[in-house]
Amino acid sequence: MRYYISLLWMMIIYLPLQAQVKAKLVRNTLIMPVPVTRSSHASTITALPDGSLMSAWFGGREEGSKDVVIWASLYKKNKWQAPVKLADGIINDTLRYPCWNPVLFRTRAGLLCLFYKVGPNPREWWGMARYSRDNGVSWSSPEKLPEGILGPIKNKCIQLPDGRLLHPSSTESVKGNIWISHMEISDSTGHQWQKINIPCDTFGVIQPTIITLAGGRLQALFRSRQDVIASSWSNDNGSTWTPVTGLSLLNPNSGIDAVTRPDGLQVLVYNPAPSGKDWSNGRNELRVAVSNDGMQWQDVYVLEKHKGGEYSYPAIIAASNDLVHITYTDDRKNIRSVTLQLK
């Protein structure tokens, strides 16, 4: 009997992931029935203690326009509420810059953080932050992050066991168009920052996302110029990282995001294509994949598949009841919200 039980467990362990994990659509909706701006992009999402969700994104005439600001909406009473403006790039009466890439994160102590960027372009922007202690009812005044610190570039931070926040970040150079990813660590209130280098080797990588594996090991996954999702590992809570290497997952030079569920399952949202002639090539299909080890991934759901258009820049968080909440750019005109049950 013991032999058969052991054999059964081995069969379960080595079953393909797609045979074990089933994805069921729970909800699929646009955040804005009527968009408040002509263009919307780079969403983020977080959960609040009352069960509601908050999403934020940047929107304006088009990416890089001076009228681009940070918008946010709450999902409560079974619908997304009217968007409100959370931040802008107004410096004074005669000077204004666009906003970029908001990131929402709520700490274990209940501090809701909004990190975002302001500046003429991604090569010259700077990091900004606002904080809320009442789940977004009111916010602190905008704060500029210390010189050389950008905060999380696109994807959410994680909170380490000691309470500090680990922020996935990256830079794009003004000259030479060089892409380099790094990490930043702050205290639990989003202050007292330090920068952690990642040996990127020959890879051009930006916009990391962080997942946690068995034993507290951390893995960073990156958008790359090498047509694949890239990876780096840390065994010391993000203080040091291994050289970046490529995975077998395709990446068309487009943003990704991943999350670790409470049960340890890793869930990734990505565009499964190589890069093309135009920057938007490959962003017409968006998939969800799962993994147990961060190395072997299996697709379990197709969010979008079209002949053209842009469905990109996903954000994903995990709930405690087999649910994952995902937002992403819907053809640059809106932000789409999807909830999946993964069992």
Q: How far apart are CA 6 and CA 144, in angstroms?
A: 57
Q: Which structural domain, as residue segments, surrounds residue 176?
A: 22-342
CATH of the domain at 112: 2.120.10.10
Is residue 226 one of the residues assigned to a domain? yes
89/177: higher pLDDT = 89
Band of the pLDDT at 40, cuts 50, 70, 90?
very high
Instruction: Indicate the Cα dihedral angle 275, 157, 116, 101, nearest 10°.
Output: 20
The vertex-326 CA angle with 274 and 206, nearest 5°, equals 45
Is residue 215 one of the residues assigned to a domain? yes
> Which pTM was predicted?
0.94
Dihedral sign, CA of 107, 241, 217, 13? positive
Question: Does residue 75 sit in helix, strand or coil?
Answer: strand
Dihedral sign, CA of 128, 190, 136, 332? positive
Question: Among residues 67, 137, 140, 131, which one has the least CA distance to residue 98?
Answer: 67
pLDDT for 7 beyond 80? no
Is residue 7 one of the residues assigned to a domain? no
Is residue 129 one of the residues assigned to a domain? yes
| pLDDT per residue as tens digits for the range 107-153 | 999 999 999 999 999 999 999 999 999 999 999 999 999 999 999 99
201/207: higher pLDDT = 207
Band of the pLDDT at 8, cuts 50, 70, 90?
very low
Is residue 141 one of the residues assigned to a domain? yes
- How many domains are contained in the chain? 1
| pLDDT per residue as tens digits for the range 112-121 | 999 999 999 9
Is residue 5 one of the residues assigned to a domain? no
Is residue 117 one of the residues assigned to a domain? yes
Is residue 9 one of the residues assigned to a domain? no
Residue with tokens 């794009």: 172
Choice among 9-23, 106-120, 220-234 with the minimum mean pLDDT: 9-23
Question: Does residue 199 sit in helix, strand or coil?
Answer: coil
The vertex-150 CA angle with 255 and 236, nearest 5°, equals 80
